Amino acid sequence: MDYKEFKNSIELLKNKPIGGLEAQFSLAPKLRLPYSNEKIQSLNPKKAAVLALFYPNEQGKTHFLLTLRASYNGTHSSQISFPGGKYEENDVFLKNTALRETFEEVGIITREISIFKQMTDVFIPPSNFLVTPFLGYLTKFPNFKINHEVEELISVPLNDLIDDSAISSTTLSTSYAKNLKVPCFLLNSYVVWGATAMMLNEIKALLKNN
C-alpha cells in the first residue's frame, strides 16, 4: 500500500469500529481462554502499552514495526512484539507509556509520532499483564536506534499483513506448554503468535477493505 493512500485513510480509521475480542481471538491459541473483565480485574494485572507504528519505506510503501526481543530469563524472551512495555506512574496516560517505551527501545523521538487510535486491551495470562495497543504513524522513514532489549528490528510491509496467506499455524513449546499448536502470522520469515498475533489480527480487520 502506498503511504499516501494510508495517510489519507487515517481520518476514516479514527472513527471506524474496532473488531474487539472477536477479531483478536481468531488468532489466539486454543488453550487461551477468554477472561471476563471481572476475572481480569480480580487478578490485579500489571498495566502495559505497545505501539503499532506505521511509516513509509524508501520506496514510499507503508510498513509497520515489530521487534525481536532480546534473550533473557523471562516469559517473553526472544519473542516477536511491538515496541512497548510496563506502565510507570510518571507516564500518567497509557499512550505515554507506548511513546516512552518506543523511544527507549528503538529511538523514535516522541514528537515525531502521531497516535491516532487505541485498540482493544489484551490480557496476557502467563505474565499477568493487561496490554493496551495504540496505532501511530510517522511522516518519514525513521532513524532507528535500538537498546539492549531489542535483538532485531522487523520492518513489515503492510500489504503482507493484509494478505490472508500470511495466516498459518505452527507447533511450538513454551515455558508453560509443550508441543502447542497455535495460529500465527508468517511475516518477514518470522512466526508471530500469541498476544502480538491477536493484536495484529484486530489491526488487520480494521485496515482491510478500508
pLDDT (tens digit per residue) in 145-194 = 999 989 999 999 999 999 999 999 998 866 666 777 889 999 999 999 99
Strand-pairing partners, residue 130, are: 47, 123
61 lies in a domain?
A: yes
Query: What is the span of the domain harbouring residue 91?
Result: 3-159+194-207
CA distance 62 to 51: 16
Instruction: Tell me whether residue 188 is in a domain.
Output: no
Q: Percentage of the chain surpassing pLDDT 90?
A: 79
Instruction: Assess if residue 102 is contained within a domain.
Output: yes
Task: Examine residue 172 and state whether it is found in any structural domain, yes or no.
Answer: no
In a domain, 173, yes or no: no
Residue 198 has pLDDT above 90, yes or no: yes
Q: What is the pLDDT of residues 92-137, one digit of tens each?
A: 999 999 999 999 999 999 999 999 999 999 999 888 999 999 999 9
51, amino acid identity: L
Chain CA centroid to CA 112, Å:
19
Q: Find the distance separating the first CA and the last CA of the chain, reported in whole Å.
A: 12
The Cα angle at residue 165 between residues 118 and 15, in degrees rounded to 5 = 25
Q: Is residue 180 part of a domain?
A: no
Cα separation, 106 vs 101, whole angstroms: 8
**Euclidean distance between CA atoms 67 and 195, whole angstroms:** 14
Give me the pLDDT at residue 27, please: 93
pLDDT value for 53: 98
> pTM of the full predicted structure?
0.92
Predicted confidence at residue 108, as pLDDT, reads 97
The one-letter amino acid code at 102 reads T
Number of domains in the chain: 1
Which whole number is the average pLDDT over 66-81? 73
Residue 70 has pLDDT above 90, yes or no: no
The residue to which cell 494485572 is assigned: 45
The pLDDT tens digits for 30-53 are 777 788 889 999 999 999 999 999
Flag whether 185 is in a domain.
no
Classify burial at 138, counting beta carbons within 10 Å of its beta carbon; exposed 0-12, middle 13-18, buried 19 or more. Answer: middle
pLDDT score of 32: 76
pLDDT number for residue 76:
47
What's the CATH code of the domain at 45?
3.90.79.10
Q: What is the pLDDT of residues 7-34, one digit of tens each?
A: 999 999 999 999 999 999 999 887 777 8
Q: What is the pLDDT of residue 7?
A: 96
